[in-house]
Homo-oligomer: A and B are copies of this chain.
Amino acid sequence: MPDGVGRLACGLDLGGTKLLGVVVDPDVPGAPLLEEKVATPAGGEAVLEEVVALASRLCERAADQFGEGVGAVGLGAPGLVDRRGTLRYGPNLPGVVDLALADLLRTRLERAVSVDNDATCAAWGEHERGASRGIDHSVLVTLGTGIGAGITVKGAVLRGANGFAGEPGHMVVDPSGPLCPCGRRGCWERYASGSGLGWLARESAQAGLAARVVELAGGEPEDVRGEHVTAAAAEGDAEALAVLKRFGWWVALGIANLVNVLDPGMVVIGGGLAEAGGLVLDPTRSAYRQLVFAADHRPDVPIVLAHLGGHAGAVGAALLAAARR
């Protein structure tokens, strides 16, 4: 079978620490046919080599196992990806700036290639095969180390004029708030990401209000991170639950801001913190109605957990590539 011809699609999700690749059949819903995960190397050259190597392996495996070619490769990359598929800026990939991923991959892989922001890919994955199936206007927010977002409008991804739509993590929601690495104060992700949860918990710990959380962190308040809060809360610790209540309020604030602007029919929460399930979702839902404009005059927007977990980005990247081919 010649290269670049085939019904299947390969999708890759490039994270700060790992690179996940899948192969899916765009015409047949269900779990990925193949998947493989490798560590993300440092530097633009090495990232490109690793993406090419993983995609090539998956294409070969698909041909061997299913007798079916991979016709399109999609990549989700963390940061600002422009409409040509160039990663303009990726704060979580040190040393990577203005990397023409789509052009380079197209040459190397000899296949149709599309590159998008990782959360945009995840939003498309959830829209096609996950929580937001059938919802034309949707927002996915990924709560991880930072916050990413993908938006669908009229059943298609919203890329914006340059491809940079969906960076609500850097909405300023408190101009006198904590400094953000981006240089501003009080960006939403200072509060509503995993890093934000750690910060809220350290605030409580310094006030002597998070004994069990500090214990799980090894005894030092400054070592407290988000996962210590969710672990203590899962044990039923009241102080950890109080931190999560404040955290949910901040998550809800940003979601309400997004609903005021975009009026989606559903908000999907993904990313690492979605694994905490109701511990994050319940306080978010409780606070949301008080924070959105005119709650009494609009339908409630379902706020739900992502269905595809860590696969959403790679699956969405594959399906976007297949759709664009």
State the A residues within 8 Å of B (CB).
80, 88-89, 97, 135-137, 149, 151, 153, 158-168, 170-176, 182-184, 253, 256-258, 260-265, 290-291, 293-294, 297-299, 301
Contact = CB atoms under 8 A, between A and B. Distances in A.
A interface SS class:
loop
Task: Please give me the 8 A-B residue pairs with the lowest Cβ-Cβ distance, nearest first.
Answer: A160-B263, A161-B265, A170-B293, A89-B297, A165-B263, A171-B257, A164-B263, A137-B161
A172 B253 contact: yes
A174 B171 contact: no
Contacts of A149: 261
Most buried by B among A149, A164, A182: A164
- Copies of this chain per assembly: 2
A66 B17 CA distance: 69
Most buried by B among A88, A135, A160: A160
Most buried by B among A168, A170, A253, A301: A170
A174 B188 CA distance: 11
A182 B88 contact: no
A162 B260 CA distance: 11
A161 B264 contact: yes
Contacts of A97: 297
A172 B191 CA distance: 14
B260 A167 contact: yes
Contacts of A260: 167-168, 170-171
Given A172-B173, A173-B173, 17 more contacts: A80-B298, A89-B294, A136-B161, A159-B263, A160-B262, A166-B261, A167-B260, A168-B260, A171-B171, A171-B260, A171-B261, A172-B257, A173-B175, A174-B174, A176-B176, A182-B294, A184-B291
Nearest to A151: B261
Contact of A162 (B166, B168, B298): B298
Contact of A167 (B80, B184, B261): B261
B167 A88 contact: no
B162 A291 contact: no
A163 B80 contact: no
A264 B160 contact: yes
A265 B159 CA distance: 11
Most buried by B among A88, A158, A263: A263
A166 to B, nearest CB: 7
A175 B172 contact: no
Nearest to A297: B89
Given A80-B297, A294-B89, A161 B256 contact: no
B174 A298 contact: no
